[in-house]
């Protein structure tokens, strides 16, 4: 049986979705069912700074971007939701970039 991952008010959920071409990260407040912040390889600022959108370097850039957005909102701790994908490759690169920026999970 699969457990549902839920964030709480002072620890929102960071949901990561990985497709073959892109990676998306959203900070979700589950108590209000709202997306607080989001970042992906399709964002204009990130898109023009990289050549390939489906490698670990792109995932690191998205991770740093979402961590900076969460810091400006005052979020220091999150719950990491990788949606049953293994912690490897691009998802691992994104998570490590977020930890380097000082966000704990």
pLDDT at 92: 97
Say what the pLDDT of residue 9 is: 79
Check residue 100 and give its pLDDT. 97
For residue range 4-21, list pLDDT tens digits in order. Answer: 888 887 899 999 999 999
pLDDT, residue 10, reads 87
Residues 6+ apart with CB under 8 A from 81: 5, 13, 14, 15, 16
Stretches where the chain sits below pLDDT 50 are: none
pLDDT at 1: 55
**Distance between first and last Cα of the chain:** 23
CATH numbers and ranges of domains, the chain: 13-100 (3.30.420.100)
């Amino acid at each position: 049986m699969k457990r549902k991952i839920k964030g709480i008010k002072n620890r929102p959920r960071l949901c990561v979705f990985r497709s073959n071409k892109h990676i998306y990260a959203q900070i979700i407040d589950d108590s209000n069912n709202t997306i607080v912040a989001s970042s992906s390889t399709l964002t204009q600022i990130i898109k023009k700074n990289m050549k390939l959108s489906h490698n670990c370097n792109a995932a690191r850039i998205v991770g740093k971007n979402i961590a900076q957005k969460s810091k400006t909102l005052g979020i220091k701790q999150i719950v990491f939701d990788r949606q049953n994908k293994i912690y490897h490759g691009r998802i691992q690169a994104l998570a490590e970039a977020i930890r380097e920026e000082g966000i704990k999970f």
